[in-house]
Structure 1
Amino acid sequence: MIRLFHVSDVHFGAEDPQAIAWFSERVAAEKPDAVIMTGDLTMRATRDEFQRGGDWLRSLGVPVTLEVGNHDIPYYWDPFRRIFAPYQRYATVERMIERELDLPGVTIVPLKTTARAQWRWNWSKGRVSAGSLRRALAMIEQVPPGRLIFVAAHHPLIEGGTKGTAKTRHGDSALTALAQAGAHAVLSGHVHDPFDVPVEREGRIVRMIGAGTLSKRVRNSPPAFNEIRIVDGRFETIARTMDEATGTAAARRPISEDTAEPRIEPAAIV
């Protein structure tokens, strides 16, 4: 069995120290095969936040791939740095960013969904550029037959029924292209609540899987991460929340499972 821990939106600078310690303890005790971090490692993209976030990810002691979130780009009040040097402060995490992971039976492919600027007021929302999609599709094309393909992005490509929204431009068409190319799931964050939604595209099912947050900026669910279990080419998603420390049954409930006829469960929060 392959076990992946999918975590997102830690927001160093607004992190929840108890949630971060809990996640670190789970990694140390359960030793997942890899950690997939789908963005917003920081709150305001400062050097200190990146340093602390990078130190934490390295301390986990397992392979990590990191996507860039909208909070990981300098904010609007620093327009010069945002437009011309948005990645200048990434030195401490550079080797983890958009790292393609090859594990037994599964490949993790990065997809950038952030933008330095957009033709709309809210630049925090997602955008899939033609170049980003092209790079992801090229990586998928190189994946050996018979492997699961998980695409890692920060923004959900389509809405998953959560309180928060991504409104990802070109996300719908990107999802179709990824499904056609053979992707089995798109992992994301941004909305701070877990979900797992099977979507049919071109006769195939591709899963939209969202992780919760380990920050203080919670919405409809407590601090959480996803555990993805892969057995014999099939996988299930389990939302793990800090409530599991109390022993409540709801704290470790599958939110969707890879079955012959997947059921749609938007925003199934545990």
Structure 2
Amino acid sequence: MTIRLFHVSDLHFGRADGEALNWFERLVHAEKPTAVVCTGDLTMRARSAEYKAARVWLERLGVPVTIEPGNHDIPYHNPLMRLLSPYRRYRAVERALERPIDLPGVMLVPLKTTARFQWRTNWAYGRVSKDGLREALAQLKTRTPGTVAIVACHHPLIDGAHVHGEAKTDGGKAALDALAAAGADAVLSGHVHDPFDVAHPVGGRTVRLIGAGTLSERLRTSRPSFNELIVKDGVLEVKPRIFELA
């Protein structure tokens, strides 16, 4: 059986590119992927109206959707809410959208890389908590032989020449080592707004580091884009899909 996933990230409702969103929606309706995986930054400032717009659009896709939080999905202008209930609006959308997804031969493992607070000035950087990593590793332990295990998070776990920007993910390298040892085959992320696909050697294995671009106005070095992931017979193929104006 062939599994096709559309990996999208950094929608940034509030600063979304309407034409790019329409293009992606048309492709989903026409090609009907098995599921859509969104690796964070649904919103620009985690405002209620932005979350509402994101939810309406994601529901309109008409296929199973799984989402991860990004640093922009935590309240920015409300420090009290950020510290006491940073994921309340995000969780409401997650509960409304996510349903069990049957992906024969594929395991999707969530890994949260956002934090309400950090002991450094730039809280946009990533952070892998001990609890979050423990939960991901526990899921990977249930992986059956021949299953392609894909971890989904917002921030790239390591920085390098393949990333046009910095994630500076605290605990990211150690997390990647542990995930690789537990059998992860690929790590999906967003955050840097440019796509990449790198075969990274770690712990005697090779783990694919796959980043999606953005469908927002906040472009870096590339056009709006997403990744098409195809898994067949235990092999993962990645096809970047680039939006071009008519």
User: Contact 1:12–1:43 (CA<8 Å) still a contact in 2?
Assistant: yes
Runs of 4+ in 1 over 4 A off after TM superposition: 96-102
Q: Match for residue 113 of structure 2? A: 113
Where do residues 74-93 of structure 1 align in structure 2 (5 Å cutoff)?
Answer: 74-75=75-76, 77-90=77-90, 92-93=92-93
Q: CA deviation at 1:14?
A: 0.2
Q: CA deviation at 1:102?
A: 4.2
Where do residues 91-170 of structure 1 align in structure 2 (5 Å cutoff)?
Answer: 92-95=92-95, 101-160=101-160, 161-170=162-171
Gaps of 5+ in 2: none
Q: Secondary structure at the match of 2:52?
A: helix
Distance 1:108 1:98 in 2: 13
Q: Match for residue 62 of structure 2? A: 61
Q: Match for residue 32 of structure 1? A: 33
Q: Match for residue 47 of structure 1? A: 48
Aligned-residue CA RMSD in angstroms? 1.6
Distance 1:115 1:209 in 2: 22
Ranked by relative contact order (alpha carbons within 8 Å, sequence separation 6 or more), the top structure is 2
Q: 1:171 to 1:179 in 2, by over 3 A?
A: same
Which one-letter code corresponds to 1:150 in the other structure?
I
Which one-letter code corresponds to 1:148 in the other structure?
V
Q: CA deviation at 1:92?
A: 4.3
Q: Match for residue 177 of structure 2? A: 176
User: Contact 2:67–2:94 (CA<8 Å) still a contact in 1?
Assistant: no
1:71 aligns with 2:68: no
User: Contact 1:73–1:82 (CA<8 Å) still a contact in 2?
Assistant: yes
TM-score normalised by L of structure 1: 0.87
Distance 2:106 2:120 in 1: 37
Q: Match for residue 233 of structure 1? A: 234
User: Contact 1:115–1:127 (CA<8 Å) still a contact in 2?
Assistant: yes
Distance 1:100 1:127 in 2: 27
Q: CA deviation at 1:87?
A: 1.8
Q: Match for residue 195 of structure 1? A: 196
Q: Match for residue 267 of structure 1? A: none
Show CA shifts across 1:67-100 (max 9, x none): 000000001x321110001122235412268877
Distance 2:118 2:96 in 1: 26
- Equivalent residue pairs, number: 244
User: Contact 1:98–1:110 (CA<8 Å) still a contact in 2?
Assistant: no
Gaps of 5+ in 1: 247-270
Q: Secondary structure at the match of 1:121?
A: coil
Q: CA deviation at 1:143?
A: 2.1
Q: Match for residue 20 of structure 1? A: 21
1:219 aligns with 2:208: no
Q: 1:115 to 1:91 in 2, by over 3 A?
A: closer
Q: CA deviation at 1:56?
A: 0.8
TM-score normalised by L of structure 2: 0.95
Distance 2:29 2:64 in 1: 13
User: Contact 1:50–1:92 (CA<8 Å) still a contact in 2?
Assistant: no
Q: Match for residue 205 of structure 1? A: 206
Identity of aligned residues (%): 59
Q: Secondary structure at the match of 1:19?
A: helix
